[in-house]
Every structure is written in structure tokens, then in C-alpha cells.
Amino acid sequence: MTKNGYKAIVIGISAGGLAALSKLFSFLPNGFPLPVIVVQHVAATSNRFIYTLFNNKCRLTIKEADDKEEIQAGFIYFAPPDYHLLIERDETFSLSIDAKVNHSRPSIDVLFESAVYVWSSGLIGILMTGANSDGAHGMRLIKEHGGLIIAQDPKTAEYPVMPQSAIDTARVDKILSIEGIGEWLRDDLVHLTRDVKNESRSG
């Protein structure tokens, strides 16, 4: 948990996501203080090689989320292809083959909505490049529950529809390039965590 009470990060991304996430993950340092949970729109038959690709560019462990798995800080979790990914009250994952939402399974909104009911104001939501509006409703819910929401600057997105839909739907806290998002996570968020640790030692 950070000084501001943040407990988890959820990321939604679609078209153009491979290059964008590779760049974003390169900013995250060892010992990153929160779990990062990603829904990326991919085909049901997608190859798992992308996790190897990301792991080669990132200091954190990147893996596919397993049903009933306990969520841990310092890991990056991906929704498996063709499964909705949900967060349970005990901070474990749940996988679902319910009908598609926003023409997608996994759906970004499904993850965001379930996460906000667990972490409330402790949630950070990030919506990046993509060609539809999945995730915009979830971003609004995160904001309504006191969380922080960040949209990739549509001018820097390979596909601007998804981040623009968040900007149009919710009062986005930050609109940043991929580099800007990465720097904020690396510098500002990690700095807040160091403050918490220092306060704990002094107390």
C-alpha cells in the first residue's frame, strides 16, 4: 500500500497494446509496491509467447492469472485469452466464461468493475490504446469510488478511441503519454511507498 492508500493497478488495453505495454513495463522497478492487473483484448487462440517477450523487457514477474490465485504486489498479471478476469473479496482471481461484454472476453469493464468493489479508493485505473470503448464505464466507477484514473493521451495512442472514451466518460485525473505514465508509476508512486515505509520505521 502507498501513502495515499493505493492497493492495486488495473490496466485496460486493446489494439496497439503489445508495443505500448512493452514500453510501459520497462519503467517499473524491482520491488514495485503494487500488483498490476491487465486485460488486453486478444484472440482466444493467442500464443503465450507474449509473456516471454514482456518478461525480457521488465524487472517484474509477468504471468497469466490463475483461478483462485492470491494477488501479490510486484507481479504483473494478465487475463487469460477468452476468459473474463474478476477480483474476489479475498483478493484472489476468479475466471469466468460468461458472455462477452462490449464484444470482448476478457472485458476491461468486467475487471475494473469487480476490482473497484474490492479496493474502492485504493484502486488506480489506466486505459490505453484501443479501438473500442471497453473500459470507459469501469474508469468512471473507479473515479466515483475515489480511485485515481489515468488515460493515455489519445494523440500518442496508436488507436485513440479507447483512451478518448475514458476522457469523454469520466473526469480523468491524468492524461499522459506512455512515457509519462511510466515515469509517474516509477517516480511518484514508488516515492509515496518509500514515505510509508519511513513513517512505519519512525513510528
Q: Active-site residues: which are they? A: 14, 41, 134
Planar angle of CA 99, 112, 144, nearest 5 degrees: 125
- The span from the CA of 111 to the CA of 12, in Å, is 9
Among residues 12, 32, 44, 28, which one has the least CA distance to residue 128?
A: 12
User: Which H or E element spans position 152?
Assistant: strand 148-152
Cβ neighbours for 115, distance < 8 A, ≥ 6 positions apart: 8, 10, 37, 87, 123, 142
Helix (H, G, I), strand (E, B) or coil at 3: coil
